[in-house]
A and B are shown apart, each in its own frame.
Chain A
Amino acid sequence: DQQVKQNSPSLSVQEGRISILNCDYTNSMFDYFLWYKKYPAEGPTFLISISSIKDKNEDGRFTVFLNKSAKHLSLHIVPSQPGDSAVYFCAASNYNTDKLIFGTGTRLQVFP
């Protein structure tokens, strides 16, 4: 039972354009959502998060949107840069635990 789904295994975007990565979840008890970026041979690096009481959180070039009714969140990267090329994981948790449920990841490639 995949509670967090990232249906696009890969995404290719031109430098300077917007990258939109999507994530869906099934468990309505999730109340905290996170995005991690992972380079090869490194552990995941925290990028941005959002609490279920919000519908948007912004940090520089990165914005996360949460649609609770649709159980959907998305990560927008504007403008995209070649250094953003990595695997992006969506994760969800319940505030009462620190257990993170991860999606399968989306590989983003930003080309010049």
Chain B
Amino acid sequence: ETGVTQSPTHLIKTRGQQVTLRCSSQSGHNTVSWYQQALGQGPQFIFQYYREEENGRGNFPPRFSGLQFPNYSSELNVNALELDDSALYLCASSPLTGGGEAFFGQGTRLTVV
């Protein structure tokens, strides 16, 4: 059973650019959630995908968007990057919606300069 994997592990982008982060969910998990963790803070919920549909969104602007594919892997896209987008982006998968623990990947460290 493979765990949650994210790519890339580190990324440096320039303000105004666009970025795509990728996540492969744990085998058998059909729900993927994305979180942003700024320095010194806890992870903050961005959005969740269940069976390729968005299933809940946190307080993030529309320039944060996502996709889930038939194999349940997922992408997080951020347009018009701002300096404050610099953070650790975490992907978590879970076997079903409705309670239960989520399993996290190691994260992608995004730095916007």
Interface residues, chain A, CB within 8 Å of chain B?
Answer: 4, 6, 31-32, 34, 36, 41-46, 49, 51, 89, 91, 93, 95-105
Contacts and interface: CB of A to CB of B under 8 A. Distances in A.
A89 B104 CA distance: 13
B43 A98 contact: no
Contacts of A100: 33, 35, 43, 45, 92, 102
Interface of B: 4, 6, 31, 33, 35, 40-45, 48, 55-56, 58, 90, 92, 94, 97-107
A105 B56 CA distance: 24
A98 B57 CA distance: 11
A44 B58 contact: no
B101 A44 contact: no
Contacts of A102: 35, 42-44
Contacts of A31: 99
B94 A98 contact: yes
21 contacts: A31-B99, A32-B100, A42-B107, A43-B105, A44-B90, A46-B102, A46-B103, A91-B42, A95-B98, A97-B48, A97-B56, A98-B31, A98-B100, A98-B102, A99-B45, A100-B43, A101-B45, A102-B43, A102-B44, A103-B42, A104-B42
A43 B106 contact: yes
Question: Which interface residue of B101, B102, B105, B106 has the most chain A CB atoms within 10 A?
Answer: B101
B10 to A, nearest CB: 10
Contact of A104 (B40, B56, B90): B40
Contacts of A99: 33, 45, 48, 56, 58
A42 B106 contact: yes
A95 B4 CA distance: 22
B107 A98 contact: no
Contact of B104 (A32, A44, A49): A44
